[in-house]
Amino acid sequence: MANRNNVHVVQRGDQWGTLREGGQRASQVFDTQALAIQAGRQMARQGQGELLIHGQDGRIRARDTYGNDPCPPRDTK
């Protein structure tokens, strides 16, 4: 089941968009990936979900969790 609080940053043609998990259309579209990441990060923080950043090839290249992390990092820095 899709977690609607998760936000994906995906390429849409020659632009980048933020897409809620399970959605078909981008919530917002930007000229650069950096702007889309910034908006997606804000959306994920508000929903306490996860931000998944996709590369040009469509594969997930980075992810950040906001809120209750089910798999917290093990390092204790």
2-52 pLDDT, tens digit each = 688 899 999 999 999 999 998 889 999 999 999 999 999 999 999 999 999
Q: What is the pLDDT of residue 70?
A: 66
Strands (E), 1-77: 7-12, 15-20, 28-30, 50-54, 60-65
pLDDT confidence of residue 68 = 74
Confidence tier at 74 by pLDDT (50, 70, 90): confident
- The 10s digit of each residue's pLDDT in 56-73 is 999 999 999 887 766 777
Question: Can you list the pairs that 72-75 forms with residues at least 24 positions away whose Cβ atoms lie under 8 Å?
Answer: none
